[in-house]
Homo-oligomer: A and B are copies of this chain.
């Protein structure tokens, strides 16, 4: 893939955040609107499929995904950081999932004030079913992008992430 090839790739006009980009808009702003459009497209589709096929929401799915990867459980504050949302949102979702028997709160030894949240066996099972289907959805949405383009895109987004973090040291 060359830069010029990417530049010349024809892009039909879909009605979205990019539709009213002006020629004099700066490159960073155009790039941001395209990044956001791609994310919104995928997120909206995943959200609607999770609702239709699993009667669940994206924040619930995201929380279960994080917990699935740390079997010993996560503190509320860590969960919030990994999910990139505020603590307030986490509490409500945890309460819901706990009521449904999908997660449980476990006391931390030597720290009476905080507890770990972890998936129950039922939660692990429910998540495994959703995760397999979810991964299929993502693979399908990316399927027209050749492997080399994916690798390059992954690398460039890594650089973007570093750029953002270097400007926001408080996040590091």
Residues of A near any B CB (own CB < 8 A): 1, 3, 5-7, 9, 11-12, 14-17, 19-20, 22, 26-32, 34-45, 62, 66, 69-70, 78, 81-84, 135, 138-145, 147-168, 171-172
Contacts and interface: CB of A to CB of B under 8 A. Distances in A.
Give the interface SS of chain A, mostly helix, strand, loop or mixed: helix
Nearest to A145: B163
| A-B pairs, 5 with minimum CB distance | A6-B155, A144-B163, A20-B69, A28-B142, A39-B39
Nearest to A68: B20
Nearest to A84: B40
B12 A172 contact: yes
Contacts of A164: 38, 41-42, 45, 141-142
A162 B9 contact: yes
A37 B147 contact: no
B14 A165 contact: yes
A108 B81 CA distance: 47
Contacts of A16: 81-82, 84
Given A69-B22, A158-B34, A17 B144 contact: no
